[in-house]
Structure 1
Amino acid sequence: MKNIYFKATIFSVLSAIALSSCVKSDDYDVPELQCNNRFDAANHKLSDLVSIAKAKPTSSDIIAEDYIVEAYVSSNDESGNIYKIMFLQDKAENPTQGIEIDINGANQYLDFPAGALVRINLKGLIVQVSNKNIKVGIYDPSYPVGRIEPTRLSNYMARVCDGQKPVKVDIVPLEFNSIADALKDDSHINQLIKIKNVQFQEGDLTKNFADDTGTGDRYIVDKAGGSLNLRFSNFATYAKTPISPKYSGSGDITLCLSRYTSTSNPATTSYTNQAYTRGIEDINFSNPRQATGIVGGTDLSYLGAFTEDFESYSVDNALFPKYFNYAYRGNRYWQIKTFSSNKYIQMSANAGTGVFQNLFMVPVDFTAANSLTFRVNVGFYNGDALKVYTTTDYVPGSDISTATLTDITSSFTIPKTPTSGYGTLASAGTYNIPAAVIGKGFIVFKYIGKGTDGTPADPVVTTTIQIDDIKVQ
């Protein structure tokens, strides 16, 4: 036993000395990490694909030589919302070209995360285009472009190395203040973008992000009336998440912009702009809902005394810098009209379809104001179509449903004739503003009408309303 103990002790001491010698020495080497590029340097730019893309590639369009481009991965399929496609762009910031690669498998983020710099060798692949949407894939006679099998993807695509590790950077989305700006000139297809001041359309607020049995189409809208279709897969981790209340407000959203063209007719000029979120964290709708359909209001002044006779505006004008013209329902606005050399504003649901709720909003300093008068006329009366309100808590540019409206219509006389033709502009009466109504606010002239929409059981109200000489004093 003593012998064994002695040998063990000697071994421990020698081991400690050896370990100590290694730690104190400055001669040891740290193994150098190696990351080697699979493909040679790029011999083409991503934008070069535009010139070789075809709507209906044939087998003769399969690229036969090494055709190498570099690009940054801008999409991420980790959440499951982006499925069997990958979006890439030529620059991490301020890109000028984007493409889509079709892959017959998911979880590509494990090998190609967002921000990864990759080289793509298109030898053996085809490049397809429909309405400026550039796609890369295999040749498949049954489709405009076929999907690459995941097991073969490494034959065509690989990460770019900086000598020690694969290159990965932050992708900076292009930012836009409206949907129209994002879609302008078709310049940003297959690129990562951020659109500010948008929200889900009202009809989608009661829905989940995706449908129960398939991809859901949900629409974002902006104040200018722009609309964009968002595609939400029922395989997404947030597919069953309700849009309301957490995402019912307004704000900004980051998207991979895409474009759909029917695969049965890839040469058609008809298409649908659509987009995908990479994850639910791309949606930042923390602000109150904003109004859509508002024009004007760029030069509001809250006054206690003024007269508006509309003579300074051109006929058919609907843009009033001093007032909000708000198409809350329907797509019509109060417009300037003229009769017998006199100008006024007019609204009607005649020959329209569906519901019309259209507000003409006049800013007022209620503390300084005492009364309101205006002249009114109707044409082709078939139902009451005008309401008048005051509000002191409306936030300019917001949805009118968030404001408190006080109905003062009963203070005025609104004609109910003629049922054919037009009457004559006449005083509607005087509303004395209560002393308790103070602060900055708005007088709201609200047109409420309904055109024909195939449901004759509902009353049709298409009465024309004309208003002139709004006077606050």
Structure 2
Amino acid sequence: MKTNKILTLAFSLMALLAITSCVEDDDYSVPQSQGNEENLALNLLLSQIETGALDLVSIEEVKAMYSSDDDIPFPVDTNIVVKGYVSSSDATGNFFKEFYIQDKAENPTAGLQVITSSSDIYNKFNKGREVYIKLNGLHIGETRVGNGVITIGGGTESDQYGTTVTALTNSQESSNVLRSATTETIIPLNLTFGVVSGEHIGMFVKFDNVEFADDLAGERYFDPTEDYDTQRTLQSCSGLEYSELILETSAFSTFKNELLPTLNGSISGVIVKNFSGDTTLLTLNSTEDVVFENTRCSLLNIDDFNVVYEEDFEGFGNYTNEGWTNVNVSGTNTDWFISGFNNNDYSRISAFSSNNSEADVWLVTPVIDLGTSSDNLLSFDLEVAFSNGIILSAYISTDFSGDPLVATWEPLNAEIPYGSTTGFGGLQPITTIDISQYEGNVNIGFFYEGSDPDATTRYHLDNLKVLSN
């Protein structure tokens, strides 16, 4: 009898060990014998990519497969694979049954959402983890029609508003979403509030010299009167006014009851959209990415400044007679010209219907004398219409003599918005630009990099002012 008890105990221990060996541990460590890949499935996938049996496509290519005009998710029926690096983390509960990937660990250019049936996915798809997604049999679309967040899902469902993607099943996640042993350090993409657009969705980004709005002192990340999410305003001093961005926090986040910091500093998170898709937001992975240790910023006072140059293009003759330089350096016929609407004139450019594969155009102000002032500001208004990319940038030169190609141009921190993709959004003031580091004679240059039909964004420039104190 004693021998039988010992044997029974031994078999029980063996069974327990067998069961335990089938359970993945929390860190999902990759067995050393499998090298850099997580499992045989990924080894096979990588070899198929190498032999051409599978095609590796970019995140940008995946996003282009879905047309929001049709509002119908794209069913993938070809042997393609997309690779990305996880930019989000649900470790604090601020994301739920989803994760985002971006195309590069540093300086990303595109991001995607992936929706799953699993929670606590940070244990497996931790931030920075390199993942490969086999897309055959999956769908690319939106989780809410028209929200502009391109998503990889497992199926589709339809209602009176249209057709959307549904979450990957556990089986699809296991067979189609494969991670490697590589976990990269995700370097946040430095941005300013004014340039944030839908193009940044899914990317891990960083903003410097920002703070929470003045009226939020004593408030917490989450408002207990809300049901699901709380939106708090972040602000950045930009000369004469604040630029703003919304931070959204989930009711299920572990840090929801923490007090908002009252100082100024840097904040990093993932660009997302709100539930309805009409607002682009920042969402935190963790409050460890909020480093506010500096004194709050102060706005400048317009009453302390004098206007040293301004142009509203009303009664404007032509660029040459007014001392402006308008030159297409690529040799094609796209140029700036004076246009107007509703009794308001402005300077306008677009490469649309120009048949120009290259339209690089400079518009340069006359010489502006800043004198020896220690405080100088530049402001102007822009209307951005029918946008297919940000293709306008602003520069300053201290040695411009008529030819923009031989001048020395230094980029200005002009927050050019992405703008409307379908029509007009009206003239909007661009955040005031500090040019106090310059003195004496300067020229402001606007450089348009157009190409028909791929880069044809239309710009209306108006109300340019240079202020000096």
* CA contact 1:296–1:324 (8 Å) conserved in 2: no
Per-residue CA deviations over 1:234-261 (Å, capped at 9, x if unaligned) read 1111111121xxx111100111012347
Match of 1:211 in 2: 223
Structure 1 residues without counterparts, runs of 5 or longer: 1-29, 161-165, 264-270, 301-307, 326-395, 397-469
Q: Report 1:230-309 matches (<5 A).
A: 230-243=247-260, 247-260=261-274, 262=276, 271-291=278-298, 293-294=299-300
Match of 2:157 in 1: 140
Match of 1:431 in 2: none
Match of 1:112 in 2: 125
User: How much has 1:60 moved relative to structure 2?
Assistant: 7.8
Query: Are residues 1:64 and 2:77 paired?
Result: yes
Match of 2:185 in 1: 170
Does the residue aligned with 2:200 lie in a helix, a strand or coil?
Answer: coil
* CA contact 2:73–2:165 (8 Å) conserved in 1: no
* CA contact 1:57–1:126 (8 Å) conserved in 2: no
Distance in 1 separating the partners of 2:308 and 2:230: 48
| Corresponding residue pairs, total | 267
**Equivalent pairs: percent with the same residue?**
23
Match of 1:49 in 2: 62
Q: 1:59 to 1:173 in 2, by over 3 A?
A: closer
Q: 1:132 to 1:61 in 2, by over 3 A?
A: closer
* CA contact 2:73–2:164 (8 Å) conserved in 1: no
Identify which of 190, 195, 206 aligns with 2:207. Answer: 195
Match of 2:316 in 1: none
Distance in 1 separating the partners of 2:307 and 2:186: 52
Q: Normalising by the residue count of structure 2, what TM-score does the alignment of the two structures yield?
A: 0.51
Identify which of 152, 160, 169 aligns with 1:149. Answer: 169
Per-residue CA deviations over 1:37-78 (Å, capped at 9, x if unaligned) read 524235322211122113277778321233211111111110
* CA contact 1:210–1:216 (8 Å) conserved in 2: yes
Kindly provide the amino acid, as one letter, of the partner of residue 170 in structure 1.
T
Does the residue aligned with 2:156 lie in a helix, a strand or coil?
Answer: coil
Q: 1:105 to 1:36 in 2, by over 3 A?
A: closer
User: How much has 1:280 moved relative to structure 2?
Assistant: 0.9
Bigger radius of gyration among the two: 1
Kindly provide the amino acid, as one letter, of the partner of residue 230 in structure 2.
G
Does the residue aligned with 1:180 lie in a helix, a strand or coil?
Answer: helix
Distance in 1 separating the partners of 2:73 and 2:288: 43
Q: 1:60 to 1:114 in 2, by over 3 A?
A: closer
User: How much has 1:113 moved relative to structure 2?
Assistant: 0.6
Kindly provide the amino acid, as one letter, of the partner of residue 41 in structure 2.
R
Does the residue aligned with 1:54 lie in a helix, a strand or coil?
Answer: coil
Distance in 2 separating the partners of 1:191 and 1:205: 29
Query: Are residues 1:79 and 2:79 paired?
Result: no
Kindly provide the amino acid, as one letter, of the partner of residue 141 in structure 1.
S
Match of 1:220 in 2: 234
Kindly provide the amino acid, as one letter, of the partner of residue 36 in structure 1.
N
Q: 1:112 to 1:289 in 2, by over 3 A?
A: same
Identify which of 178, 186, 189 aligns with 1:158. Answer: 178
Q: 1:215 to 1:261 in 2, by over 3 A?
A: closer
Distance in 2 separating the partners of 1:216 and 1:83: 15
Match of 1:400 in 2: none
* CA contact 2:73–2:156 (8 Å) conserved in 1: no
Kindly provide the amino acid, as one letter, of the partner of residue 166 in structure 2.
G
User: How much has 1:311 moved relative to structure 2?
Assistant: 8.4
Distance in 1 separating the partners of 2:199 and 2:72: 29
Distance in 2 separating the partners of 1:85 and 1:149: 12
* CA contact 2:66–2:73 (8 Å) conserved in 1: no
Query: Are residues 1:128 and 2:124 paired?
Result: no
Q: 1:159 to 1:280 in 2, by over 3 A?
A: same
Q: 1:105 to 1:207 in 2, by over 3 A?
A: farther
Query: Are residues 1:38 and 2:51 paired?
Result: no
Kindly provide the amino acid, as one letter, of the partner of residue 61 in structure 1.
F
Kindly provide the amino acid, as one letter, of the partner of residue 135 in structure 1.
T
* CA contact 2:74–2:141 (8 Å) conserved in 1: no
* CA contact 1:58–1:139 (8 Å) conserved in 2: no
Distance in 1 separating the partners of 2:73 and 2:267: 41
Q: 1:31 to 1:133 in 2, by over 3 A?
A: closer
Q: Normalising by the residue count of structure 1, what TM-score does the alignment of the two structures yield?
A: 0.50
Per-residue CA deviations over 1:286-318 (Å, capped at 9, x if unaligned) read 111112x43679xx9xxxxxxx9x5856599xx
Distance in 1 separating the partners of 2:307 and 2:189: 43
Kindly provide the amino acid, as one letter, of the partner of residue 54 in structure 1.
S
User: How much has 1:151 moved relative to structure 2?
Assistant: 5.1
* CA contact 1:197–1:250 (8 Å) conserved in 2: yes
Per-residue CA deviations over 1:315-347 (Å, capped at 9, x if unaligned) read 99xx9965699xxxxxxxxxxxxxxxxxxxxxx
Per-residue CA deviations over 1:359-399 (Å, capped at 9, x if unaligned) read xxxxxxxxxxxxxxxxxxxxxxxxxxxxxxxxxxxxx9xxx
Distance in 2 separating the partners of 1:93 and 1:31: 27
Q: 1:277 to 1:32 in 2, by over 3 A?
A: same
Kindly provide the amino acid, as one letter, of the partner of residue 178 in structure 2.
A
Does the residue aligned with 1:55 lie in a helix, a strand or coil?
Answer: coil
Does the residue aligned with 1:144 lie in a helix, a strand or coil?
Answer: strand
Distance in 2 separating the partners of 1:43 and 1:233: 35
User: How much has 1:150 moved relative to structure 2?
Assistant: 4.0
Q: 1:59 to 1:191 in 2, by over 3 A?
A: closer
User: How much has 1:179 moved relative to structure 2?
Assistant: 1.0
